[in-house]
Amino acid sequence: MAGSSTVCVTGAGGFIASWLVKLLLARGYTVHGTVRDLSDKKSAHLKRLESAAERLRIFKADLLDYDAMAAAVVGCQGVFHVATPVPSEKLTDPELQMLAPAVTGTTNVLRAASAAGVQRVVVVSSIVAVEINPKGWPEGKIRDESCWSDEEFCRNNNVLLVLQIWYAVAKIISEEAALEYGRQTGLDVVSVNPGLVFGPMLQPTVNASSQFLIYLLKGGPDKVRNKLWHVVDVRDLAEALLLVYEVPGASGRHICAPHVISVRELLDLLKSKYPDYPCITRENICDRDHPAPMTSEKLTKLGWSCRPLEETIADAIGFCQRAGFLGDADGEAPCRFPPLFNKI
Ligand SMILES: NC(=O)c1ccc[n+]([C@@H]2O[C@H](COP(=O)([O-])OP(=O)(O)OC[C@H]3O[C@@H](n4cnc5c(N)ncnc54)[C@H](OP(=O)(O)O)[C@@H]3O)[C@@H](O)[C@H]2O)c1
């Protein structure tokens, strides 16, 4: 799987995928990147990446369009399946907007990979497929890759709002289905479960997890649960995705969630480093119990390492300042906390 081969990245214009495409190009890969709309300015940045003119081909493909996805995967030795809707707003039709692209979309990508004789598929899942009320997991025990979120609990728990149920359910089902597809067909499928991803953005629009950090600094009307978050830098995540693609011995799931911090601790860090921002108020943080954290040891044992959280935060905020995402424009609607993160 040397760097002279061709790989496909689905949803190439997104936050995580853009960094992955940049890394792959830097390591000598030829990349087939899929986007939904070729004329959308949201993915224009891809063409400006170094070596993009020589080694990046952009394909128009919705996850639900098997033929378009198959055309993008032809000639590829590897596939990085990154695309999934990560909604910033509440969903109006969760089955259509969330489950179909996540679940049917993943199946389409895997079928296309099989048809093209791809050697390995890396599926980007999430720690939401690990951490939510796992059945039979001993209280206080560090969670590892053998821990699966309880899909039934996510579907049935009234405390969760529509949006969060469906995002979590979609990530659980699609990861399970992808690994099962690999077992059934012999296609080499591995998954990565990132925590909350922060870092500078390559894409021009603000994605949901970057909006999380922006909200903590700008403040606003929404309450935030004092959850124990697991954070990873987007650049370190891209390295992790490439590592599990390249290391022959990689198999199964890989938690990629190295930094554990509560919202109160994160707020203290932000206030000490950026005293000029209003930040969310302490009253807007709702306390809750903290279950046992997760470990990224499996990935570390493969040779992965990551930068300190302080560096990630500094780079993410420095980027947002330069891009004007932290400005306080007159008449601007109040900043909102992405509802996705308030229940998962
Ligand atoms: N950011 C995090 O904190 C985090 C944490 C854990 C896991 N993840 C996972 O990482 C992946 C990427 O997330 P991200 O943070 O980079 O979000 P993002 O910037 O919103 O990227 C999502 C990508 O998916 C594409 N997409 C959505 N629906 C699609 C469809 N029907 N057909 C084709 N493409 C579609 C989007 O394309 P358009 O631009 O056309 O909408 C976009 O390129 C997702 O699988 C997400 O679940 C993210």
User: Does residue 126 belong to any structural domain of this protein?
Assistant: yes
CB of 11 sitting under 6 A from ligand 1: yes
pLDDT along the chain (344 residues), means of 10: 82 98 98 95 95 98 98 98 88 86 97 98 97 89 96 70 73 97 98 98 95 94 90 98 97 98 95 93 86 95 98 97 83 80 66
Match 């004007």 to its residue by tokens: 324
Q: Which of 104, 86, 138 is nearest to 344 (CA)?
A: 86
CB of 85 sitting under 6 A from ligand 1: yes
User: Does residue 265 belong to any structural domain of this protein?
Assistant: no
User: Does residue 112 belong to any structural domain of this protein?
Assistant: yes
Looking at residue 331, what is its pLDDT? 61
Helix (H/G/I), strand (E/B), else coil: 183 = helix
The predicted model scores a pTM of: 0.96
CB of 42 sitting under 6 A from ligand 1: yes
DSSP 193-259: EE-EEES--SSSS--HHHHHHHHHHH--S--EE--EEEEEEHHHHHHHHHHHHH-TT--B--EE--E
Q: How far is the CA of 208 from the centre of ligand 1 (A)?
A: 9
Q: How far is the CA of 124 from the centre of ligand 1 (A)?
A: 9
Looking at residue 159, what is its pLDDT? 45
CB of 160 sitting under 6 A from ligand 1: no
Looking at residue 257, what is its pLDDT? 98
Looking at residue 329, what is its pLDDT? 60
Residue 133, both tokens: 């009320």
Q: How far is the CA of 258 from the centre of ligand 1 (A)?
A: 21
Looking at residue 3, what is its pLDDT? 54
CATH number at residue 70: 3.40.50.720
Catalytically annotated residue among 47, 90, 135, 171: 171
Match 């044992």 to its residue by tokens: 301
From 8, 15, 63, the mutation candidate for ligand 1 (largest count of ligand atoms within 8 A of CB) is 15
Boundaries of domain holding 67: 6-200+230-257+292-306
Active-site residue, 223 included: no
Looking at residue 18, what is its pLDDT? 98
Q: How many domains does the chain have?
A: 1
User: Does residue 322 belong to any structural domain of this protein?
Assistant: no
- C-alpha distances out from residue 265 to 183, 260, 317, 335, Å: 41, 10, 17, 21
Looking at residue 165, what is its pLDDT? 74
User: Does residue 56 belong to any structural domain of this protein?
Assistant: yes
Looking at residue 337, what is its pLDDT? 87
User: Does residue 159 belong to any structural domain of this protein?
Assistant: yes
Looking at residue 287, what is its pLDDT? 85
User: Does residue 17 belong to any structural domain of this protein?
Assistant: yes
User: Does residue 140 belong to any structural domain of this protein?
Assistant: yes
From 20, 23, 84, the mutation candidate for ligand 1 (largest count of ligand atoms within 8 A of CB) is 84
From 16, 131, 174, 312, the mutation candidate for ligand 1 (largest count of ligand atoms within 8 A of CB) is 16
Q: How far is the CA of 83 from the centre of ligand 1 (A)?
A: 4
Looking at residue 1, what is its pLDDT? 53
Looking at residue 160, what is its pLDDT? 47
Protein residue whose Cα sits closest to atom 44 of ligand 1: 84
Q: Which atom of ligand 1 is nearest to the CA of 128?
A: 6
